[in-house]
Structure 1
């Protein structure tokens, strides 16, 4: 092992033998697990609350979340306990072998998580944007991503012949150049990310919407470009794979390898969660604001009868007379009826609910009272040759009050 380092490098490693990045590894492999699981769980809750059902993009995001959890778990299980985060001079040969096995598993989870996120975003585009030409482009892009994923996974599976030469230095075999392979994976991944996240922008700009809403939609669908930034930064640390002190140098590469798929999962989940939050929060906010408005206004009697009052009979006390008077409409005019009945509560609610039931069981009115039925039109129909039986009689309660 000492032949891989210059005397100066070897002296540096011996001087910093006790340095450790284990704490950093623990937090950046631990945080993505609850964040990804919770965001996907909230996404499924939002889909269920909106009664939209589980679609293909949801299943793909679930699979991507499982792959990300597996990636982080393999990083935690095979990393710090077996030398990751420490200089290679402080790690035993047996721990190096276990660490490399974990790196092999970790890389497979990483590739599967990336491919699943890309396909989930494309499935979401296909479901939301019902534009035939755009959907054809989405399908073509999805086909390319599937082929890309198969090629990457297959190449990684046979990166060494025999495969145990990947983690065991004592096994003689041939392996691909990991630095070159990782560069190819990252550059192609970055190119497809940029293409996917810019894909819906032309369709959004052609929508019949105000400019502000178009820009807002473009911003929402372009949030995933932050993932492209992570991919670009990851390219700068790829050389850690080729470093002789790889247990120390691959720590930044491992961090970006988990946050890159995490960013894709969040960019896919958050718009759906935010949409459902606004859908639930807006009616509640309107209800609370309307309640505060009503409570802040002082109660005072209305000058005009309410719509509910207008649909019912109005009882007005008048000066004493020798008879009871009911105003009705029979197509010929107004007439006197000495037996006046007051509607029962059942008839009241039937009229309020609009059931149109006219059956009323009544009780006799008190003496010296008059009831005005509001069910007639503004102008009372009269025969041409007859004169009103009660000239000067007001037609409605409002005019009686006004008089």
Structure 2
């Protein structure tokens, strides 16, 4: 006689509730980001398309994770059959979850890097971003391929009764955890040296750096997942012992997309909390900051103002400080003091030559 899944210890419903809520929040933010991009900028950029692709795969990942829990994940293996579940199906969807989850993380990381390329004009920084993209693409493709073929035949990944040859799954999962956590931290810290060199007042500088540091929350979830991995790789009851790792993997994927979209909430937050933003603005205006693009300067000893598209700053145009050009809601208006100085262009000093 089949028992109710709720008559035994069952953590499956918790997974479905948590991941369902986070996936819904991520979907709303992605849709807002795309809507905001089209309405305000009349353009959908590459980073927007990558985050939309990541959201699509995340929806599939959430459904696959729910199916794994429906068939037995979150229950002890001894309780699965008597509660109408299937250990084989549960492990099959767990295997598929590992594949799609890695794709979500890879697409989200690429979205962050493509966003950096769009707003930072430094050529050296671009080269670092492109190098990081190669590491992300190569790593994700390699790990996805290894996940799919971790056992030969492939069915051995979820059907433990058939004869198969498998890699050391514990070591493989530790390698993946180290790779994804280290790249999360690297991508989060990558723009900080450029932001630290912007000569803004403290309020604005802290605000901009906090906006780019939102990715640290993804790093935190990744570290928590590593803690859950300790139990997962040492269990002989995978549907129960690996449940925490499954949950935190899903949370990590959700939070990555959420953090990638949070900077686009500046305008609606300004409308919801106008007093806070007006206070920050009034405090910032007292210092009349000078915005120097020292982080983007070339090696010839002078600064170039790039015309890169930038959602977070609105520098004055050729008409000077008196320009009355409208400022879009997702832009920050900054006053800029510009001065020219004379320097020699090479070892032969040329007096009076402006650079």
* CA contact 1:46–1:273 (8 Å) conserved in 2: no
* CA contact 1:29–1:73 (8 Å) conserved in 2: no
Query: What SS class does the counterpart of residue 214 from structure 2 fall into?
Result: coil
1:143–1:78 Cα change, 3 Å: same
Which whole-Å CA distance do the structure 2 matches of 1:116 and 1:137 have between them?
Answer: 18
1:30–1:18 Cα change, 3 Å: same
1:177-196 correspondence runs (5 A): 177-196=168-187
Per-residue deviation, residues 369-395 of structure 1 (Å, max 9, x unmatched): xxxxxxxxxxxxxxxxxxxxxxxxxxx
1:102–1:141 Cα change, 3 Å: same
Which whole-Å CA distance do the structure 2 matches of 1:158 and 1:247 have between them?
Answer: 20
Partner of 2:69: 79
Partner of 2:262: 270
* CA contact 1:223–1:267 (8 Å) conserved in 2: yes
1:61-210 correspondence runs (5 A): 61-80=51-70, 82-92=71-81, 95-210=86-201
Please state how far the C-alpha of 1:30 moved relative to its aligned partner.
1.5
Q: Which segments of 5 or more consecutive residues in structure 2 lack a partner in the other structure?
A: 1-5, 279-355
Per-residue deviation, residues 195-226 of structure 1 (Å, max 9, x unmatched): 10001111011123223312211111011101
Partner of 1:37: 27
1:22 matched to 2:12? The reply is yes
Per-residue deviation, residues 306-328 of structure 1 (Å, max 9, x unmatched): xxxxxxxxxxxxxxxxxxxxxxx
Per-residue deviation, residues 115-152 of structure 1 (Å, max 9, x unmatched): 00100000000001111111111111111111111111
Per-residue deviation, residues 95-114 of structure 1 (Å, max 9, x unmatched): 11111110111011110000
Q: Which segments of 5 or more consecutive residues in structure 1 lack a partner in the other structure?
A: 1-15, 287-403
Which whole-Å CA distance do the structure 1 matches of 2:134 and 2:238 have between them?
Answer: 35
How many residue pairs match? The answer is 268
Per-residue deviation, residues 303-351 of structure 1 (Å, max 9, x unmatched): xxxxxxxxxxxxxxxxxxxxxxxxxxxxxxxxxxxxxxxxxxxxxxxxx
1:231–1:281 Cα change, 3 Å: closer
Which whole-Å CA distance do the structure 1 matches of 2:11 and 2:202 have between them?
Answer: 48
1:337-352 correspondence runs (5 A): none
Query: What SS class does the counterpart of residue 170 from structure 1 fall into?
Result: coil
Please state how far the C-alpha of 1:85 moved relative to its aligned partner.
1.5
Q: CA RMSD in A?
A: 2.3
1:248–1:208 Cα change, 3 Å: same
Which whole-Å CA distance do the structure 2 matches of 1:85 and 1:279 have between them?
Answer: 42
Per-residue deviation, residues 9-40 of structure 1 (Å, max 9, x unmatched): xxxxxxx9822213312212311221111110
Which whole-Å CA distance do the structure 2 matches of 1:275 and 1:141 have between them?
Answer: 31
1:153–1:225 Cα change, 3 Å: same
Query: What SS class does the counterpart of residue 224 from structure 1 fall into?
Result: helix
Partner of 1:391: none
Which whole-Å CA distance do the structure 1 matches of 2:34 and 2:7 have between them?
Answer: 47
Provide TM-score, normalisation by structure 1.
0.63
Q: Which has the larger radius of gyration?
A: 1
1:236-251 correspondence runs (5 A): 236-238=227-229, 239-251=231-243
* CA contact 1:32–1:258 (8 Å) conserved in 2: no
Which whole-Å CA distance do the structure 1 matches of 2:67 and 2:194 have between them?
Answer: 45
Which whole-Å CA distance do the structure 2 matches of 1:114 and 1:183 have between them?
Answer: 16
1:214 matched to 2:201? The reply is no
1:208–1:58 Cα change, 3 Å: same
Which whole-Å CA distance do the structure 2 matches of 1:129 and 1:219 have between them?
Answer: 17
* CA contact 1:17–1:90 (8 Å) conserved in 2: no
Please state how far the C-alpha of 1:77 moved relative to its aligned partner.
1.8
1:258 matched to 2:240? The reply is no
Quick one: higher RCO (CA 8 Å, sep 6+), 1 or 2? 2
